[in-house]
């Protein structure tokens, strides 16, 4: 049974341990020691939060001392180890109204937007932390990582403000706290934020040896590899044209550009529910994560032509490509692409190649039936 299907069994009010024990008899379930360890910690936090809520309600009525806010969790490990799967089950099962689950890219897009709105306040970051706390007790951040100096400079003080206002954080990451922003500009200024995360969150390593994204992955012919062969490239272009015609069902548009955050971006084809880009236009230009968020929210299907095999001089393009895949994956966008190499061979030399394994894993998962059957969703992100 796919993890997507198993996750549907999570029910509000059911603790992580009870849920996990229940799914252990499901067909295809694999007993994973590292997931068991994470479940123990998640179950402990679940009961602490339920107890906190009960005591908090009593405090508002009678008690003198407010209960202590539980500490959150930092789940980290290799790609495909089930971190997001476990966090999402915890989120669904926690009987809270003031809770939120959001991908890190989306969260930072909101943060930058809110910072502009709060620019006239004495301390925008503290004001923003207070604003978040008004609607959120539990914040679940998926795929926490830092590769941008602006984000690095913001995160420390924002996290400090959120912890002071009683926000409980659960986050997933492919890196331990000490491995965040490893070669970043002015990294020494980010070190206090790392120390804060280690103080305020319990660090849990989900280090199982199974990559669940690759397990029994039935690939669909939607990631077309040419190997820089001219005949292969032409065949892939023809196949993508057939697929676009099939998906658009005659609903294609003659427009050659779309507007993304008040800028014109060239497209090869356009339909109501699909858009087709060249790699060089979408990942070779000066695009930010917010651009990809807007595209992912608007189009359930994205076509991407001519992904090259990237070397060290393509580091900037590789970084944008990673952003793009992260955003498309989290919004459950269908990706149909042509490439000069298989996912794991696209970017193997250059800056940040160590983190590209997550991108390759996601590209593989995005070709499976389980992923393709998911419903496209657009989180309400203020841009």
Q: Does 116 lie in the same domain as 255?
A: no
Q: Does 285 lie in the same domain as 245?
A: yes
Q: Does residue 383 form part of some domain?
A: no
Q: What is the pLDDT of residue 217?
A: 46
pLDDT along the chain (383 residues), means of 10: 57 90 80 90 96 80 69 89 90 95 88 92 93 96 86 92 96 92 85 95 86 52 83 88 81 76 89 90 88 90 94 92 93 93 91 85 88 72 46
Q: Does 77 lie in the same domain as 171?
A: yes
Q: Does residue 303 form part of some domain?
A: yes
Q: What is the pLDDT of residue 36?
A: 92
Q: Does 269 lie in the same domain as 193?
A: no
Q: Does 316 lie in the same domain as 259?
A: yes
Task: Please give the tally of structural domains in the chain.
Answer: 2
Domain of 277, CATH number, reads 3.40.50
Q: Does 199 lie in the same domain as 145?
A: yes
Q: Does residue 381 form part of some domain?
A: no
Q: Does 246 lie in the same domain as 170?
A: no
Of 177, 205, 233, the one marking the end of a domain is 205
Domain of 181, CATH number, reads 3.40.50.300
Q: Does residue 76 form part of some domain?
A: yes
Of 205, 238, 259, the one marking the end of a domain is 205
Cα dihedral sign, 212-214-217-219: positive
Q: What is the pLDDT of residue 17?
A: 94
Per-residue b or e along 166-178, where b marks 16 or more CB atoms closer than 10 Å to that residue's CB: ebbbbbbbbbebe
User: Are 322 and 356 contacting, i.e. CB atoms less than 8 angstroms apart?
Assistant: yes
Domain that holds residue 248: 223-372
Q: Does 293 lie in the same domain as 186?
A: no
Over the stretch 1-56, which tens digit does the pLDDT of each residue have? 455 555 666 778 899 999 999 888 877 677 788 899 999 999 999 999 999 998 88
Please, which residues have CB within 8 angstroms of residue 163's CB and are 6 or more apart in sequence? 169, 196, 200
Q: Does 168 lie in the same domain as 114?
A: yes
Q: How far apart are CA 26 and CA 10, in angstroms?
A: 13
Over the stretch 262-284, which tens digit does the pLDDT of each residue have? 888 999 999 888 899 999 999 98
Q: Does residue 213 form part of some domain?
A: no
Q: Does residue 378 form part of some domain?
A: no
């Amino acid at each position: 049974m796919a993890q997507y299907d198993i996750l549907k069994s999570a029910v509000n009010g059911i603790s992580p341990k009870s849920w996990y024990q229940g799914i252990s008899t499901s067909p295809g379930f694999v007993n994973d020691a590292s997931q068991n360890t994470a479940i123990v910690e998640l179950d402990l936090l679940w009961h602490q939060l339920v107890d906190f809520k009960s005591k908090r309600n009593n405090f508002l009525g009678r008690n003198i001392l407010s209960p202590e806010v539980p500490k959150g969790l930092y789940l980290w490990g290799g790609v495909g180890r089930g971190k997001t799967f476990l966090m999402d089950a915890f989120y669904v099962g926690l009987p809270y109204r003031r809770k939120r689950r959001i991908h890190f890219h989306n969260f930072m897009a909101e943060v930058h937007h809110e910072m502009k709105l709060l620019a006239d306040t004495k301390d925008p970051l503290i004001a923003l932390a207070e604003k978040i706390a008004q609607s959120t007790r539990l914040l679940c951040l998926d795929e926490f990582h830092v590769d941008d100096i602006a984000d690095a400079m913001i995160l420390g003080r924002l996290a400090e403000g959120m912890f002071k206002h009683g926000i409980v954080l659960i986050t997933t990451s492919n890196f331990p706290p000490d491995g965040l922003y490893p070669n970043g500009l002015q990294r020494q200024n980010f070190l206090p934020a790392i120390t804060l995360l280690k103080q305020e969150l319990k660090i849990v390593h989900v280090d199982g040896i199974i990559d669940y994204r690759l397990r029994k992955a039935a690939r669909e012919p939607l990631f077309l590899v040419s190997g820089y062969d001219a005949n292969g490239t032409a065949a892939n272009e023809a196949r993508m044209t057939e697929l676009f015609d099939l998906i658009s069902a005659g609903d294609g548009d003659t427009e050659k550009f779309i507007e993304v955050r008040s800028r014109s971006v060239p497209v090869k084809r356009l339909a109501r529910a699909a858009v087709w880009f060249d790699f060089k236009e979408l990942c070779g230009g000066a695009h930010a994560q917010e651009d990809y968020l807007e595209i992912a929210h608007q189009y359930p299907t994205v076509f991407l032509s001519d992904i090259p095999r990237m070397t060290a001089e393509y580091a900037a393009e590789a970084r944008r490509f990673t952003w793009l895949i992260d955003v498309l994956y989290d919004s459950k966008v269908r990706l149909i692409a042509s490439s000069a190499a298989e996912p794991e061979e696209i970017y193997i030399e250059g800056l940040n190649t160590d983190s590209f394994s997550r991108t390759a894993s996601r590209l593989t998962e995005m070709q499976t039936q389980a992923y393709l059957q998911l419903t496209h969703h657009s989180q309400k992100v203020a841009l």
